[in-house]
Structure 1
Amino acid sequence: MPQQQQHYLVITALGTDRPGIVNTITRHVSGCGCNIEDSRLAMLGEEFTLIMLLSGSWNAITLIESTLPLQGVDLDLLIVMKRTVASEQKETPTTVWVKVEVEDSPHLIERFTDLFDSHHMNIAELVSKTQPAQGEHPPRLYIQITAHGSSDRPVGEIEDTFHQLCTELNAQGSISVVNHPQN
């Protein structure tokens, strides 16, 4: 018997955090016959956001599309969904990871995202968190970024630019660059 074609759906659920909410959503997803291919959850203030990539048969994806918004109303959630296709694994000859700690101020994250953009790298993951001021210590910003790109530029170039930016911003930072062998 031939395998059914897989269909894909990205869903985002946003709402006030409370115990059991994520379990309720994942149980509903499973009950519709969908598989969770990838997911992220983040707490932002009193809110949580859950992002999932689901796969399943056409019937399973259609079922979740028609039932999850109703469950979202019952749970007081904002639900956004979009059909997508399976992504082909793109060649990523270079992967860069950075961690930064710096006194918080506007435009800092933009400075680091611009660094990757100027080196033609695609940001795959960005996590930032501000630690509130503590006594005489000002708020601190923590940033982690993972990016992928081609190896058409010398590895040392982004490392040098990153260290220059950290020096300019009086930030503590680390960078790790990995070049993956090409077939």
Structure 2
Amino acid sequence: MGTVKQAGRQAPGDATRPASNENYLLISAFGTPAHSPLVALSKRISECGCNLAEARVSTLGNELSVLALAQGAWDAIAKLENALARLDRDGELRLAHFRTSARQPQANLLPYVVEVVAADKTGVLFQLAEFFERQNITIEQLHSTRYRAMQTGADMFSAQITIGIPNTMHIAALRDDFLEFCDGLNLDAIMDPMKF
């Protein structure tokens, strides 16, 4: 009688291959808004028998950028890799992709949102990222932009950052350190728990 694999488990000889539907391909694509990378990517993902697990779309400069995470069986992901290679050769999109794995849940991280507004100056984003790195705090999501204030015409910087704070960290002390850091750089900032 043959052996039956349990769902989600690997046979001893399959150590290099994830379980049947736990294969992931991370794809980044850039194109013009007239030739949306989202349409082209989601079509190829669907045609190859994969699911679009996550996607991010944004316009940066004159380019529409898409970051997509495709999930599927090993052979479906391989088929998608070939389809993306053909799409890349067509030249309408600029593509990069590689295999990855599912994100592991981080139950020990508390999600917080940081918002910063300041007069635009070189290095603000670097200083913010460096502050969180020194504290061993992960930046989960970030959206930053530079704009001109309507009332004064001053060049401004704005950032919305989602961070993961270890649950062992003293939140009030971290908030005090962060606000003191921002005061030193003349940044207007808040740090609040993420509300779902």
State the partner residue of 2:137. Answer: 121
Secondary structure of 1:48's counterpart equals: strand
Query: 1:23 Cα deviation (Å)?
Result: 1.5
Query: 1:125 Cα deviation (Å)?
Result: 0.7
Whether 1:11 and 2:6 are equivalent positions in the alignment is no
Query: 1:25 Cα deviation (Å)?
Result: 2.0
Write out per-residue CA displacement over residues 58-106 of structure 1, whole angstroms, 9 at most, x where no aligned residue: 1210111001121133252111111112222122332221001111111
Secondary structure of 1:11's counterpart equals: strand
Whether 1:59 and 2:75 are equivalent positions in the alignment is yes
Whether 1:138 and 2:150 are equivalent positions in the alignment is no
State the partner residue of 1:68. Answer: 84
State the partner residue of 1:181. Answer: none
Once residues 106 and 138 of structure 2 are traced to their aligned partners in structure 1, the CA distance between those partners, rounded to angstroms, is 11
State the partner residue of 1:25. Answer: 41
Once residues 80 and 19 of structure 1 are traced to their aligned partners in structure 2, the CA distance between those partners, rounded to angstroms, is 17
Counterpart among 9, 30, 47 of residue 63 in structure 2: 47
State the partner residue of 2:116. Answer: 100
Once residues 21 and 120 of structure 1 are traced to their aligned partners in structure 2, the CA distance between those partners, rounded to angstroms, is 35
Query: 1:19 Cα deviation (Å)?
Result: 4.9
Relative to 1, partners in 2 of residues 1:20 and 1:137: Cα closer, same or farther, differing over 3 Å? closer
Secondary structure of 1:51's counterpart equals: strand
Identify unmatched segments of 5+ residues in structure 1. 179-183
Query: Aligned-residue CA RMSD in angstroms?
Result: 2.1
Secondary structure of 1:18's counterpart equals: helix
Letter in 1 for 2:78: T
State the partner residue of 1:154. Answer: 170
Secondary structure of 1:9's counterpart equals: strand
State the partner residue of 2:185. Answer: 169
Identify unmatched segments of 5+ residues in structure 2. 8-18
Query: 1:169 Cα deviation (Å)?
Result: 2.3
TM-score by length of 2: 0.82
- Aligned pair count? 178
1:155/1:177 contact within 8 Å kept: no
Secondary structure of 1:106's counterpart equals: coil
Instruction: Give the percent of matched residue pairs that are identical in Structure 1 and Structure 2.
Output: 24
Whether 1:81 and 2:97 are equivalent positions in the alignment is yes
Query: 1:137 Cα deviation (Å)?
Result: 2.5
